[in-house]
Structure 1
Amino acid sequence: MDNDVTRLELRREYPDPIEDVWSALTESDRMARWIGTWTGEAGVGKTIMLLMTAEKETEPGPAVIRECDPPKHLVVDLGVTDQPAWRVEVTLTPRGDGTVLDFVHHLPKTDWDTSDILKGWHFYLDRLGASLVGEPVPEWDTYTPPSLDT
């Protein structure tokens, strides 16, 4: 990436095996528990339609799968209205019985407040963690991230 991109990075550790975390990241019915659902034909170079159900009044948006190496690595370009695509990259690494998730958002430089975007990704990754262990997922209206530090 170049100087026109801001890199937001987050790391999470989950007690679940890598295959389970991968399924929660890629299977529409599992994704519905924490971020949203998708429709379409999945595969590298393919476009799916992603509906982010944790947000109010959203419409499905295009998501282009750029890289996919199950169960370790996924890169997707998310369509954002009137903005360049948001590239998100997830790398999973087994650690003991659990999994380390490294998340990178390559955000085109805009006048958007990156702290709000970072809070949103904290929110979603916390929802992912809760869904993996069967706990209630946080709601946006009452959500406070543990820290806005990456």
Structure 2
Amino acid sequence: MVFGFVILALALPGSLYIGSILVGICYGIRIAISVPTASELFGIIYYGLIYNILILNDLPLGSFLFSRLLAGILYDMEATPTAGGGNTCVGAHCYRKTFVVMAVACIIGFGLDILLSIRTKAVYTKIYVSKKSKKSWAPSNGRRQILN
């Protein structure tokens, strides 16, 4: 997502399409990954509650904070007042700061993801070792065979 937001902030010809595609793909992948990650990290006992909290953070809360507040405030800072009483802004500079702030937020999120993966590495190692000790696979004449 960082690359998508940087491409959008550069405002080169055609960068709106490329940046939007990158951000959209990454956002879709992130939402798809968050569901199984929540069930793996927190279990399925309170899965409904955890899933709804994740969706609340993703869709309405994040959209309000970044799209409505952040983009609106930074747009108004860049816009010039018009005679009719509103603000207007034309050009690439209107949302450049917004895209930079969102890229920084994505970098912070990436750092937190790395921290989470480091902290949960021991858990996944234990799960892998316990599954491997229950079933051992060895090739035999081109077929897999369960060894006990």
Larger Rg: 2
Same fold (TM over 0.5): no
Higher relative contact order (CA 8 A, sep 6+): 1
- The structure that is strand-richer by fraction is 1
TM-score by length of 1: 0.27
